Amino acid sequence: MDASSTTTMALRVSSSSSSASSYSSFKPNKSLPFKFSTFRPPPQPTPFKSLKCIQTPPSSNPNPLKHPPPPPQNPGSASPFSCSALTLSSQTSELVPLKLQTLISEFQSLLEPIDRVKRLLHYAALLPPFDDSGRVDSNRVMGCTARVWLQAEMDEEGKMRFAADSDSEITRGFCSCLVSVLDGTSPEEVLRVKTDDLSSLNVGLPGAQRSRINTWHNVLVSMQKKTKALVAQRHGTPPFEPFPSLVVTAEGIQAKGSFAEAQARYLSPDESKVGELVNVLKEKKIGVVAHFYMDPEVQGILTAAQKHWPHIHISDSLVMADSAVNMAKAGCQYITVLGVDFMSENVRAILDQAGFEKVGVYRMSNERIGCSLADAASSPSYMGYLEAASRSPHSLHVVYINTSLETKAYAHEIVPTITCTSSNVVQTILQAFVQVPDANIWYGPDSYMGANIRELLQQMTKMTDEEIAEIHPKHNRDSIISLLPRLHYFQDGTCIVHHLFGNEVVDRIKEMYCDAYLTAHFEVPGEMFSLAMEAKRRGMGVVGSTQNILDFIKQRIQEALDRNVNEHLQFVLGTESGMVTSIVAAVRSLLGSVRSGGAEINVEIVFPVSSDSVTTSSSSPGLDSVKLVMSYYLSYLEFPVGRDVPSTAAVHPVHT
């Protein structure tokens, strides 16, 4: 909602004082652990007067969720109890916008940043602290720089009651403001508030600390999650089944669900098989590059072998080829590629360009190892798309790396073509528009990624020029608005793996994991992309490549380690589950670096998979993949280095 509509609502509500019931007409459930006090309409005609609250004496109520005070006998007199919200009647459904606008105006009326911070500290003093029974992990809010605890209940009249606390006075002030707006309101009113509605709550913190500002948003999201759960409980609605997950600690791994149990088994492979593989790689000087999306059982063996043979690397597509060059420089005579055909082609081409034509490149099968995106890029409809591009002035084709060399070469014959990855696609497109301001850019073949790029750029039009410059220094709002009509994307190409992240999965995430860290590959459908982008705006999400996802998880864990307080971090893995091997390895490495006696950090990796996916994945035999990897390398034992590998062997040379 914009400021003008909020103000209109506020004025309409304030003009009818009869719509607000008196405090004495509201009788809270005696078991409710919240405090109440009177709401008095502002004496001035303007609705932008700050709300008055009376601070609780420090010793009167150590935990507002355990020791509710008696209601005041005279609503018109001063009360010794804290004010956490207005009391609403059924006729005051527009009171939340009024309260929110009043709060916004209160801070905006203070011109000096130090005065706004002082006002925030004033609100912090009004919030009754929790005792130790309230400061528990189950009440923690993720994504806040300081520790925040939140409790919620629904009273007899169906109103939401909130209480919050923090170990930071600044953060307590944030929490107090939100509680003052939403405590005592209906579930519908709580869920109607958007994080964007809080964007005007600028309290002028020194250094414009975004992590502090995100507290507004993350506490709100946690309030809404608890509200949904209480509404479902009140209505007798069965909760969603939780997604399978792995919980990684410094001591080990706990699997939740059969799908996660299968993943966990692959993380501790047979040491004899690992040793056998390492011996072959060392003897024959073989380097291994594999994609994050390889099966977890395959990655489990490779990750274990990597400790004994450094020339094994698991990464996204482009880095696979760069790693192969480094392996060739280190003396590897062969590079084996675990991935689809275009990845093997990329490795071969990059090695040739680097002067390592004599280094052999091998793939896993003499059968075609296809990819739905690569297939889409070689379809007649894509050829028609390129023909249309060739007829437009100043056209540039930006093709996703997940396509064959033949497709790239053929496309370049029709329209100038450059290649991008999921990690650099946005920068590639923005830079192209800088160098050719009147360009028409044609992206393909991934339709989801194309739509997501457009959505991201449209969101950039709502940013300030300074925020846009952080993404690309040569762009501003005007340039982004100007380029959007000249950005085209192919409409008929999808990754079959990321296509699974559709409405069913998104609905469950919204209900059960909206307060968790959300990760999404650029190839996911728009619903999942939008969810992750919303989380990203409040510091709780990432959208990008597999490497971007891994880096984000590592960064958040390192931040938790630096804070050195007990935490449970929950990450929803919005990409193929095979990536869990690299994530778990990174998490183990980070947690293992903590000195004994440090904080206890638990990292939960959630697999947002449908029931069908769980059944299929957990029942599929993993041994076949392991055998394939072993035969892939052990076949070298039969042939001396330097001889051609026969077509009956498990590995097959790649030529350009």
pLDDT for the residue 220: 95
Separation of alpha carbons 366 and 334, rounded Å: 17
pLDDT for the residue 60: 41
Selected residue with higher pLDDT from 146 and 493? 146
Separation of alpha carbons 584 and 132, rounded Å: 32
Separation of alpha carbons 68 and 24, rounded Å: 17
Q: Contact at 8 Å (CB) between 160 and 168?
A: no
Domain 3-235 part of CATH 2.130.10.30: no
Confirm whether 3-235 and 270-370+624-653 share one CATH topology. Answer: no
Beta bridge partners of 603: 248, 569
pLDDT for the residue 412: 96
Separation of alpha carbons 563 and 557, rounded Å: 10
Selected residue with higher pLDDT from 506 and 204? 506
Residue 140 DSSP symbol? B
Strand duo 541-544 + 517-521: pairing = parallel
- How far is CA 507 from each of CA 240, 310, 496, 511, rounded to the nearest angstrom? 10, 42, 20, 6
Q: Looking at the predicted structure, is the pLDDT value of residue 26 above 50? A: no
Selected residue with higher pLDDT from 257 and 10? 257
pLDDT for the residue 136: 94
The CATH number assigned to the domain with range 270-370+624-653 reads: 3.40.50.10800
Q: What is the mean pLDDT of residues 544-551?
A: 90
pLDDT for the residue 626: 43
Q: Looking at the predicted structure, is the pLDDT value of residue 509 above 50? A: yes
Selected residue with higher pLDDT from 336 and 197? 336
Q: What is the mean pLDDT of residues 24-51?
A: 35
Q: What is the mean pLDDT of residues 49-72?
A: 37
Angle, alpha carbons 133-137-139 (nearest 5°):
75
Q: What is the mean pLDDT of residues 578-597?
A: 85
What are the structural domain ranges in the chain? Answer: 3-235, 270-370+624-653, 372-489, 498-618
Q: Contact at 8 Å (CB) between 572 and 520?
A: no
Selected residue with higher pLDDT from 621 and 397? 397
Kindly write down the DSSP assignment for every residue of 168-197, as one continuous string: SHHHHHHHHHHHHHHTTB-HHHHHH--GGG
Selected residue with higher pLDDT from 256 and 318? 256
Beta bridge partners of 487: 441
Q: What is the mean pLDDT of residues 604-633?
A: 54
Q: Per-residue pLDDT tens for 407-422?
A: 999 999 999 999 998 8
Q: Looking at the predicted structure, is the pLDDT value of residue 540 above 90? A: yes
- How far is CA 247 from each of CA 193, 362, 588, rounded to the nearest angstrom? 32, 36, 11
Catalytic residue IDs: 144
Q: Looking at the predicted structure, is the pLDDT value of residue 350 above 60? A: yes
pLDDT for the residue 316: 83
Token pair recorded at residue 622: 């993993």
Beta strands in 500-629 (DSSP E): 517-521, 541-544, 567-574, 601-606
- How far is CA 226 from each of CA 29, 139, 160, 201, rounded to the nearest angstrom? 19, 10, 10, 23
Q: Looking at the predicted structure, is the pLDDT value of residue 370 above 90? A: no
Separation of alpha carbons 396 and 428, rounded Å: 11
Q: Which of 493, 393, 416 is nearest to 450 (CA)?
A: 493
Selected residue with higher pLDDT from 68 and 159? 159
Tell me if residue 148 falls in helix, strand or coil: strand
pLDDT for the residue 57: 36
Separation of alpha carbons 100 and 109, rounded Å: 14
Q: Per-residue pLDDT tens for 619-638?
A: 333 444 444 444 544 444 33
Residue with tokens 């956490």: 84
Q: What is the mean pLDDT of residues 124-128?
A: 95
Phi and psi torsions of 334, nearest 5°: -135, 145
Separation of alpha carbons 470 and 374, rounded Å: 33
Separation of alpha carbons 138 and 116, rounded Å: 32
pLDDT for the residue 579: 84
pLDDT for the residue 363: 87
Strand duo 253-256 + 567-574: pairing = unpaired
pLDDT for the residue 39: 32
Amino acid at 488: H
Q: Per-residue pLDDT tens for 96-105?
A: 999 999 999 9
pLDDT for the residue 627: 45
Per the prediction, the chain carries an average pLDDT of: 79
Compute the radius of gyration of the chain from its Cα atoms: 29
Separation of alpha carbons 39 and 89, rounded Å: 12
Q: Per-residue pLDDT tens for 445-455?
A: 999 899 999 99
Instruction: Give the class (CATH, top level) of 498-618.
Output: alpha beta
Q: Contact at 8 Å (CB) between 398 and 442?
A: yes
Beta strands in 229-342 (DSSP E): 245-248, 253-256, 286-291, 312-315, 334-338
Q: What is the mean pLDDT of residues 423-436?
A: 95
